[in-house]
Structure 1
Amino acid sequence: MADAISDLIVRVALHDRAAFAALYQATSAKLFGICLRVLKDRAESEEVLQEAYVKIWNSASRFAITSNSPISWLAAIARNHAIDRLRARRPDPVELDEDLAGADESPDPERLLISAETGSQIEACLEELETQRAGAVRGAYLDGDSYQELAERFSVPLNTMRTWLRRSLISLRKCLEA
């Protein structure tokens, strides 16, 4: 059976339509089963099967008789095409955003209280830092300024700004833990 299918694939590579019809007749049930297992939808599996046979027609010349089992080669084409279709099914992120648009994202009262307490603790700890360093921390972590922008604003070298921020964060952590 494998030799007969190999012969059919070789003839399909020469664009022999009769060989292609015979190949389809001999292998379509198996390849359809593969597509159906992957996609779990009969109509879509039928469509993917037809597209897989178009790929087989176009790439039959790449089949190597000595290295591949003909059924394995055909099955790989069908399976890979079915997997590609499955991946293409994924919903757009926009759809997810629309579903979440109605969700209430506001924090509950307990979280608001904890957040307010944490915010005032951070502000108190920032007040303990030197004015310029506190300004740099606010710029980097609250305003989203880059290290380069902060270095220019405070007229210090870039590495100095990095050191300021690292040391300031260490001081803030110690203050918050106390």
Structure 2
Amino acid sequence: MTYQKASRLSAAGTPEEEQKGRMDDAGIEAELLRRIANGERAAFDELYARYSRPLFSYIAKFLRDHGLAEEVLQDAFVKIWRSAHRYDRDLSRPFSWCVLITKRLCIDRIRAAKPVTVTDDPMALKPVEEHRNAERDPSQNVLIEDELSILGEMVERLPESQRSTLQLAMDKGLTQQEISEKLNMPLGTVKTAMRRGMLRLKTMMASSYE
């Protein structure tokens, strides 16, 4: 090994040392969150100094609105202050946890500007893949994926007949006649199950924004 190469490696540190440095940062930040949970303002100020710039960059790219990004950043740190007692270092790294809080606030802002609605007509549902394949900007893709995930969880909570019929419409894009044949269920029963399922989904979706 040449002297120059050895010098560069020494200056940069070994991969093990770099990884230890990252782990040390996570440990320091986890401790800051613990202190914030105890109401220590100095710890909060230090975490803000560490995270405000990268979180603002994330929000600005997500929302594409500088003024709104500043508002969401402040909301995010208020949420971090109030929720620090919920942080569990065994489940996630401190920065990842703060990004998750920030992402949810970004999504809430987009939803508030354009609330998602659930139609009364079950056959107006678009298959999941059709939603995913539509061309849109990255922030809207994130929002659509989040909405599809929420909608999927809500469908799972429906009674069996409502769940199975709606899943075939959403996942496979089947018509009511095709669903009737697939499930060996009378067409009238399929229509009733889907209509009731959509009404229940609409109620659940509305309550999720309260």
TM-score computed with the length of structure 1 as normaliser: 0.50
TM-score computed with the length of structure 2 as normaliser: 0.43
